Structure 1
Amino acid sequence: MTVARSGSVADRPLVFITGASSGIGQALALRYAQAGYRLALVARRSEVLQAWVNAQGWDDQRCRVYLADVAETDSIVAAGQRCLAEQGVPDVVIASAGLSIGMDTAEREDLDVMARTFALNNTGLAATFHPFVKAMVARGTGRLVGIASVAAIRGLPGHGAYCASKAAVVAYCESLRGELRRSGVDVVTLLPGYVDTPLTQQNRYAMPFLLSPAAFADRAFATIRAGTSYRVIPWQMGVVAKLLRLMPNPLYDRLLTGRARKHREGEGRSTG
């Protein structure tokens, strides 16, 4: 993956990022802009995103904003198709939009929360990639980046929907990587630990190795540029998660007894 820093703006590589109105998605947008990329940015709150883009001083040649609800398949597919028509085939596609809400299986309304979480975090991720796969394969180059979470590695009480959806992101990206092997299109799976974003700011428990969005974006950019297939950021959280994965179930269950749970819907802000 090369970065063009000279010539016309139209000759620069292009990155397509969902969830760009805040948090990790916005930090990645800024990092790619600093590296000289053209930007295709997607958000449900497109007016908020457009105001931020305007504040950066980016014109339409440098950055375009697309309105889409990633949880609605036709909506995000249409945004991808518009990007192809207006800006061309991206060099990098980052499925960053995500939903994190606590759930209690005993509560009927939380089953609907789980369905919405899967619609955004899983089907929405695949639908984000869908418009670009054939075009990237035909060109013989491209990077598809799925944002999972360290929470994918082991389930946490009260986080059933989120942990399950992020574990599914890891498995899906691994499957897609196998399908695209030798096509020239790389699949990168990133597992953030704790990042200081609207998704985490109201958490009621300790968040070790907390990163700023900019620090995460720097490390993610380097990982994507290298084409690394799977990485936990920061690496320290990867060590912690692997140790927890190896822990016998009775000990793990005892360790988490009494741990504060994620806010359920209506208890805190949880969309990004």
Structure 2
Amino acid sequence: MTAPARPLAFITGASSGIGQALAARFYAQGHDLALVARNTQAIGDWAAGAGLDAARYAVYAADVSVADSIVEAGMACLARQGLPQVVVANAGVSWGIDSAEREDLDVMAQLFATNNLGMAATFHPFIRAMQARGSGTLVGVASVAAIRGLPGHGAYCASKAAVVSYCESLRGELRARGVRVVTLLPGYVATPLTRDNRYGMPFLLTADDFAERAFRVIMRQSSYAVIPWQMGIVAKLLRLLPNAVFDRLLQGRQTKHRHKTAE
């Protein structure tokens, strides 16, 4: 395993949306890139269109919902580009479910496989080497939806709440060896994942605006951040509401589409 000449950022879900915007931000700040997605053609087309130096990035095909697939991508990165300074587990899916429908139990399992096990598998190849080096940053992308469960979003909210708890646990495990864990909770960001939402999206950010703010949080190695901060206040206020008031407030609210595709 070679040491990268420049800091290296390993980013999943890099074919569009937040992942692609974060890739552009890290590249602009002098990082080499290890870009991971199922749709590698989309990454290649974007990189070529953006004028990225081919010597400064590599593309890896992986299905994050399959643990061995993303682990193999991480191992390939170590062999080809070396040990990243930053690993961003961004890939995720967002589907509504109806627990009265049997097929939606399988949808929920797939969502957890991607958003939760996929995150752990993304980090796995790099942890021991980062501990040995005494430095590194693991970034888990959760959601403000982690803070309170929303009708029709049970699987998604539960998965993102699990991301927050998982990253908190991992942070405690790794801190003494110099490895930092950062948890990002995006509010509403204009990406293919949110394009068809049927409800209002307050404080909506562009992917580039989110990436700029997220990059600053990661470089500061803050442990936890809601982006934008206004959504953090809204979420905390909702958390404080008594259940009866919260339930009335959300009664009749449009829910997320079922069985949407991944970003």
For normalisation by structure 2, the TM-score amounts to 0.97
* Equivalent of 2:222 in 228, 231, 234: 228
Instruction: Give the aligned partner of residue 64 of structure 1.
Output: 58
CA contact (8 A) 1:198 1:270 kept: no
Unpaired segments ≥5 residues, structure 2:
none
Q: Any idea what the Cα deviations from partners look like across 1:183-206, whole Å, max 9, x if unmatched? A: 110000000000000111110000
Aligned mates of 1:201, 1:61 — CA distance in 2: 33
Q: What is the 5 A alignment of 1:66-145?
A: 66-145=60-139
Instruction: Give the aligned partner of residue 193 of structure 2.
Output: 199
- The Cα shift of 1:271 comes to 1.2
**Aligned pair count?**
261
RMSD between aligned alpha carbons?
Answer: 1.1
CA contact (8 A) 1:159 1:261 kept: yes
1:253 paired to 2:244: no
Aligned mates of 1:109, 1:199 — CA distance in 2: 21
Aligned mates of 1:144, 1:181 — CA distance in 2: 11
Aligned mates of 2:205, 2:69 — CA distance in 1: 32
Write the letter of the residue equivalent to 1:228: S
Aligned mates of 1:156, 1:85 — CA distance in 2: 42
Write the letter of the residue equivalent to 1:11: A
Aligned mates of 1:72, 1:54 — CA distance in 2: 28
Q: Any idea what the Cα deviations from partners look like across 1:207-236, whole Å, max 9, x if unmatched? A: 000000000000000000000000000000
Q: Any idea what the Cα deviations from partners look like across 1:113-144, whole Å, max 9, x if unmatched? A: 10000000000000000000000000000000
- The Cα shift of 1:60 comes to 3.7
For normalisation by structure 1, the TM-score amounts to 0.94
Unpaired segments ≥5 residues, structure 1:
1-9
1:184 paired to 2:178: yes
Identity across aligned pairs (percent)? Answer: 67
* Equivalent of 1:160 in 154, 157, 160: 154
Report runs of 4+ in structure 1 exceeding 3 Å deviation.
none
